[in-house]
Structure 1
Amino acid sequence: MELRIAAPADAAALADLGARSFVAKFGNMYTPEDLDNFLNESHSAAKTTKEIADPAMRVVVAEEEGRLLGFCKLVMACGWPEHAQGRRVIELKQLYTDPDTTGRGIGSALMDRALEIARDHGADEVQLSVWSGNEGAQNFYARYGFGKIADIHFMVGEQRDDEFLYARML
């Protein structure tokens, strides 16, 4: 498995992987209309292309023999400044793996790289949000030293999801 910064040519495959991963984990929680609208807004090739090109983001992909296995997106700015504990805070926006490859250490490799990028950027805190019902992800983040610092919410169409804001000092 190779980890690398995403290139513009990765946009369509990243958008597809993001949508498939989201649907596999959360698709049953939403009305078809809310889900379709969310996927079109958040996991389109056009949006992914912009994120890859954005100097305020880092998109890291995990790849094996030309196949994308996972990715993470880092916003090199604080997503929730009202909860910031550090002076230079970044946000881990997404960490997704292909639903067919879960359990192979891809998420761990991506998290290790994300934390390395954060340190290289001079960040002293990383924030991320996680759905309140996703205990597996919460346990994964806890293994990396993240802890809950606030209750927040996330909108998918008309549905408001209760989320937890996690953070880790570097």
Structure 2
Amino acid sequence: MTLRLATQQDAAAIADLGRRAFIAKFGHLYSAANLAMFLDDAHSPAKVLKELADPAMKVAVMEDDGRIASFCKIVKSSGLPAHTPALRPMELKQLYTDPDQIGRGHGARLMDWALAEARRWGADEMQLSVYADNPDAQRFYRRYGMDKVADITFTVGDHVDPEFLFAGAL
């Protein structure tokens, strides 16, 4: 497995993986129309290209035999609602793994990378949003010192999900 920064040539593969991972974990929660609209907006090659060009965002990928198996997107300044006294919070936007590759250590390596980048940026806190009914993800982030600081929401079309804002000091 190789961890590296994503390039523009990775956009289609990242978008595809984002779509597949989201559908596998959360697709059953939404109507077909809401899901399609969300995926077209959040996990399109055009959206990934825009993110890769953003100097305030970094995207890392894990490759397995030349194929992108996981990715992580981080943003220098958190766009999540302010619920902590952090002065320089950064945001972990997405950490997705191919559903067939879960449990192989990709998430841990990407999380270590994200924390190291956040510290290089001078961030004083990492923040992320996690689905309220996703105890596996919550357990994973707690291993890295993150915990729930607020109840928030996540909207997919006209469907509103309960989410938790997780945060951890750096």
What CA distance in whole angstroms lies between the structure 1 residues aligned with 2:166 and 2:18? 21
Residue number in structure 1 paired with 2:39? 39
**Amino acid paired to 2:78:** C
Q: Is the 8 A contact 1:37 1:157 kept in 2?
A: yes
Q: Output one character per residue of 1:65-101: Cα deviation in whole Å (capped at 9) or x when no partner.
A: 2110100100110223521322111000000000000
Q: Output one character per residue of 1:132-152: Cα deviation in whole Å (capped at 9) or x when no partner.
A: 000000000011110100000
What CA distance in whole angstroms lies between the structure 2 residues aligned with 1:62 and 1:8? 15
Identity of aligned residues (%): 56
Give the number of aligned pairs: 170
**Amino acid paired to 2:75:** V
The answer as to 2:169 corresponding to 1:169 is yes
The answer as to 2:6 corresponding to 1:6 is yes
TM-score of the pair, normalised by structure 1: 0.98
Q: Output one character per residue of 1:110-157: Cα deviation in whole Å (capped at 9) or x when no partner.
A: 000000000011111000000000000000001111010000000000
Residue number in structure 1 paired with 2:142? 142
Q: Which runs of 4+ in 1 moved over 3 A?
A: none
What CA distance in whole angstroms lies between the structure 1 residues aligned with 2:129 and 2:147? 11
Residue number in structure 1 paired with 2:28? 28
What CA distance in whole angstroms lies between the structure 2 residues aligned with 1:160 and 1:73? 23
Instruction: Map 1:61-72 to 2 at 5 A.
Output: 61-72=61-72
The answer as to 2:130 corresponding to 1:130 is yes
Unaligned runs of 5+ in 1: none
Residue number in structure 1 paired with 2:116? 116
What CA distance in whole angstroms lies between the structure 2 residues aligned with 1:142 and 1:160? 24
TM-score of the pair, normalised by structure 2: 0.98
Unaligned runs of 5+ in 2: none
What CA distance in whole angstroms lies between the structure 2 residues aligned with 1:80 and 1:103? 28
What CA distance in whole angstroms lies between the structure 2 residues aligned with 1:127 and 1:87? 12
Give the drift of 1:64. Answer: 1.8
What CA distance in whole angstroms lies between the structure 2 residues aligned with 1:108 and 1:22? 19
What CA distance in whole angstroms lies between the structure 2 residues aligned with 1:120 and 1:108? 18
SS in 2 for 1:83: coil
Select between 73-82 and 142-151 the one with higher mean Cα deviation.
Answer: 73-82
Residue number in structure 1 paired with 2:90? 90
